[in-house]
Amino acid sequence: MDATLVPRVVDADPAEGRLLLEAVPGEDCWGPSAATVAEVVPRLVAAQAALAEDGRAASAGLRDRRPRALLAQLEALLDRLPRETDLTTEELAGAARMVEELPGVIEELDDCGLPATVLHGDFHPGNWRAEPGRPAVVLDFADACLGHPALDGLRARAFLTPEAWEHHADVWSAAWRAHAPGSRPGRALELAEPLHHLAYALRYQEFLDGIEASERPYHEGDPAAEIRAALACSTGAGRS
């Protein structure tokens, strides 16, 4: 396991779910170079593959965002959308159809050959920190969960140019092919894209449920925005 991938734990209170982490010097990697992506992404993939192989992922006590568990959670979320969002009747009907079709998508996603593992949950470049001469460190595991690795693979897309995203996806796919020979990580990214947005709709709703009322106006549109993003997604042939 790569101990340099994450900050050193200074102290922990498992009963309260709290960690005190060592301060990490450097700068956040917004607009990462191709070299930074090629350095960080394979290290995360290697750690996730190792966790999946030795069984620690399933026993980590994390929230379950594996595709089938996510499906059940999304079905419950759908019941709340009409009264808690500004989604139109047409959009709500589309979201319901999308969730109804997810079992078939999940079956094809399973066939891509990637294991469920521990996810960072918010693996975008702003949560990587680096300084010259030292490996980058991944920060902010507040959204960590158990799930399909393509959800982490897709997170950076919204923060990158199309060209940078192509490189990121290629690096991520190559890393997973190395750890899971015969897998189809590129296809997994395509299939998981709507699921990725739906997972964030769920996470943002959980966030709304837990924040004070004065903060809600700043975030009330987030679940609907992710539902709309999911509806805009389509799958097709591409990387393997």
Position 58 scores a pLDDT of 73
Position 28 scores a pLDDT of 96
Position 234 scores a pLDDT of 57
Distance CA 147, CA 66 (A): 4
Identify the structural domains of the chain with CATH numbers, from first to last: 3-232 (3.90.1200.10)
Position 162 scores a pLDDT of 97
pLDDT tens series, the chain, 240 aa: 788 999 998 998 888 778 888 999 999 999 999 999 999 999 999 999 999 998 776 777 889 999 999 999 999 999 988 888 999 999 999 999 999 999 999 999 999 999 999 999 999 999 999 999 899 999 999 899 999 999 999 999 999 999 999 999 999 999 999 999 999 999 999 999 999 999 999 999 999 999 998 988 888 999 999 999 999 985 444 455
Contact 80, 213 (CB under 8 A): no
Residue 187, amino acid: R
Position 240 scores a pLDDT of 53
Contact 119, 69 (CB under 8 A): no
The Cα angle at residue 12 between residues 133 and 139, in degrees rounded to 5: 35
Position 237 scores a pLDDT of 41
- For the full predicted model, state whether its pTM sits above 0.85: yes
Region for 171 from its dihedrals, namely left if φ exceeds 0, alpha if ψ lies in -120 to 50, beta otherwise: alpha
Question: In this structure, how many other beta carbons lie within 10 angstroms of the beta carbon of residue 25?
Answer: 10
Tokens 């709340």 — which residue? 80
Position 118 scores a pLDDT of 94
Question: In this structure, how many other beta carbons lie within 10 angstroms of the beta carbon of residue 35?
Answer: 8
Distance CA 239, CA 186 (A): 4
Q: Which of 127, 134, 146, 147 is nearest to 192 (CA)?
A: 147
- Spell out the SS3 assignment of the chain: CCHHHCCCEEEEECCCCEEEECCCCCEECCCCCHHHHHHHHHHHHHHHHHHHHHCCCCCCCCEEECHHHHHHHHHHHHHHHHHHCCCCHHHHHHHHHHHHHHHHHHHHHHCCCCCCEEECCCCCHHHEEECCCCCCEECCCCCCEEECCHHHHHHHHHHCCHHHHHHHHHHHHHHHHHHCCCCCHHHHHHHHHHHHHHHHHHHHHHHHHHCCHHHHHHCCCHHHHHHHHHHHCCCCCCCC
* 145-147 vs 117-119, strand pairing mode: antiparallel
